[in-house]
């Protein structure tokens, strides 16, 4: 299966089309909206479903060194990608050090929604990954934030003072540990792992049968949010910053490919790791940096992650990453 076939299959899938519908509705300034409480419930369902299914799939397989190697690879990627992103931003744009560190944190951490969409696409493209990739996704949330705080360095200390900076860093660690998405993802993963295939069979109608329908509704809302964010904040996105939002995912994906090959991931799991490395957080990182780097402008980092990189990955990135993963692992059909 070549890249064009994969891209076509991804583009005509209902979740992607509903995301595009949301973008169009936002751009024509439609009054279409999904109540915030419903959108939150959809998000909780998707995170719980992907965590539980990943745990159940891992319980059905054999534990091996690939699990630990993949998790370690994810942590290394999350910690190092912000350094590369920060350097590129400082060289190619005029954003300040604090904003560059904040943007870099978004691109070192991961988008769990992009991961969920990629997991769904992997099954649709008949290239599913291993269940333990859920644990890899969870492990990649926090290291990038720590790296970003180091990169912000003296500027953050000068703004907050030494004592305030210490309190801020402690608050960030607490924020990361208690982040609702991470707590639910890890918790559901371990519940799925403990109950195994029998537990999956008991809740299959809830976690399998309606999953794609819920994903369609959620991505419709994401399209509305992304489109309206672009309309509201497009003035702060200079050409160099927009360019970063398009080429940094490709750099992250290539780094993920090299790291995944080094630890021996199969084609589906490699595609998922590449997607994780290419994604940009717009949930966990903004919440954490609100405490740690209050000087950073979320209008830049959040709009870039959600309005530029997220659509790029959904529409073009995911099929490209899985095509490359199949190509280099020899699993293409």
Kindly tell me if the per-residue pLDDT of 162 is higher than 60. Answer: no
Query: What is the model's pTM?
Result: 0.83
Query: Counting beta carbons within 10 angstroms of the beta carbon of residue 147, is it exposed (0 to 12), middle (13 to 18) or buried (19 or more)?
Result: buried
When pLDDT is averaged across residues 247-258 and rounded to a whole number, the result is 97
Kindly tell me if the per-residue pLDDT of 16 is higher than 70. Answer: yes
pLDDT value, residue 170: 60
Kindly tell me if the per-residue pLDDT of 163 is higher than 60. Answer: no
Query: Counting beta carbons within 10 angstroms of the beta carbon of residue 198, is it exposed (0 to 12), middle (13 to 18) or buried (19 or more)?
Result: exposed
pLDDT value, residue 33: 92
In terms of Cα–Cα distance, which of 219, 239, 226 is closest to 282?
226
Position with higher pLDDT, 149 vs 220 = 220
Helices (H), the chain: 3-11, 14-27, 36-60, 65-92, 97-108, 112-124, 133-139, 143-160, 162-178, 180-204, 211-233, 239-262, 267-278, 284-292, 298-303, 310-312, 318-329
Query: Of 77-91, 119-133, 318-332, which one has max mean pLDDT?
Result: 77-91
pLDDT value, residue 145: 84
pLDDT value, residue 331: 78
Kindly tell me if the per-residue pLDDT of 328 is higher than 80. Answer: yes
Least-confidence region, from 17-21, 147-151, 212-216, 318-322: 147-151
pLDDT value, residue 57: 81
When pLDDT is averaged across residues 94-115 and rounded to a whole number, the result is 92
Position with higher pLDDT, 263 vs 145 = 263
pLDDT value, residue 47: 86
- The region that residue 311 occupies, defined by phi over 0 for left and psi between -120 and 50 for alpha, beta otherwise, is alpha
Indicate the average pLDDT of the chain: 85
Summarize pLDDT for 176-230 with one digit per residue, the tens. Answer: 666 677 788 888 889 998 998 899 999 999 988 898 899 999 999 999 998 998 9
CA 176 to chain centre: 15
pLDDT value, residue 68: 85
When pLDDT is averaged across residues 314-332 and rounded to a whole number, the result is 89
Kindly tell me if the per-residue pLDDT of 100 is higher than 80. Answer: yes
Q: Which tokens is 33 given?
A: 């909206």
pLDDT value, residue 64: 65
pLDDT value, residue 245: 96
Summarize pLDDT for 274-300 with one digit per residue, the tens. Answer: 999 999 998 778 877 777 777 888 889
When pLDDT is averaged across residues 91-99 and rounded to a whole number, the result is 92
When pLDDT is averaged across residues 105-127 and rounded to a whole number, the result is 88
Kindly tell me if the per-residue pLDDT of 156 is higher than 50. Answer: no
pLDDT value, residue 262: 93
Least-confidence region, from 48-62, 166-180, 190-204, 234-248: 166-180
pLDDT value, residue 174: 66
Kindly tell me the sign of the dihedral angle through the C-alpha atoms of 33, 35, 40, 41. Answer: negative
In terms of Cα–Cα distance, which of 275, 81, 283 is closest to 183?
283
Percent with pLDDT over 70 in the chain: 87
Summarize pLDDT for 45-57 with one digit per residue, the tens. Answer: 988 998 898 888 8
Q: What is the dihedral of CA 179, 273, 266, 182, to 10 degrees?
A: 0
Least-confidence region, from 1-5, 30-34, 257-261, 282-286: 1-5
């Amino acid at each position: 299966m070549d890249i064009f076939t994969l891209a076509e299959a991804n583009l005509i899938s209902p979740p992607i089309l509903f995301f595009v519908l949301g973008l169009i509705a936002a751009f024509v300034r439609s009054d279409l909206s999904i109540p915030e409480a419903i959108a939150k419930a959809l998000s909780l369902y998707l995170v719980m479903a992907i965590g539980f299914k990943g745990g159940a799939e891992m319980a059905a397989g054999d534990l091996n060194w690939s699990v630990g190697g993949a998790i370690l690879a994810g942590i290394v990627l999350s910690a190092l990608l912000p350094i590369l992103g920060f350097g590129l931003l400082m060289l190619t744009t005029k954003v300040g050090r604090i904003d560059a560190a904040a943007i870099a944190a978004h691109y070192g951490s991961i988008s769990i929604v992009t991961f969920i969409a990629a997991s769904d696409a992997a099954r649709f493209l008949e290239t599913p990954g291993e269940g333990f990739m859920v644990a890899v996704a969870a492990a990649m949330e926090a290291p990038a934030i720590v790296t970003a705080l180091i990169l912000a360095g003296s500027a953050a200390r000068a703004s907050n003072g030494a004592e305030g900076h210490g309190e801020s860093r402690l608050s960030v660690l607490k924020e990361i540990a208690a982040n609702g998405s991470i707590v639910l993802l890890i918790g559901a993963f371990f519940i799925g792992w403990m109950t195994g295939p029998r537990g999956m069979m008991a809740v299959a109608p809830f976690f399998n049968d309606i999953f794609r329908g819920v994903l369609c509704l959620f991505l419709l809302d994401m399209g509305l949010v992304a489109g309206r964010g672009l309309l509201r904040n497009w003035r702060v996105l200079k050409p160099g910053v927009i360019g970063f939002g398009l080429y940094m995912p490709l750099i992250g994906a290539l780094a993920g490919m090299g790291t995944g090959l080094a630890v021996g991931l199969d084609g589906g799991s490699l595609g998922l790791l590449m997607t994780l490395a290419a994604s940009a957080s717009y949930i966990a990182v903004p919440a954490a940096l609100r405490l740690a780097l209050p000087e950073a402008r979320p209008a830049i980092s959040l709009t870039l992650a959600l309005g530029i990189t997220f659509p790029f990955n959904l529409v073009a990135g995911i099929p490209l990453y899985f095509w490359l993963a199949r190509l280099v692992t020899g699993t293409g059909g």
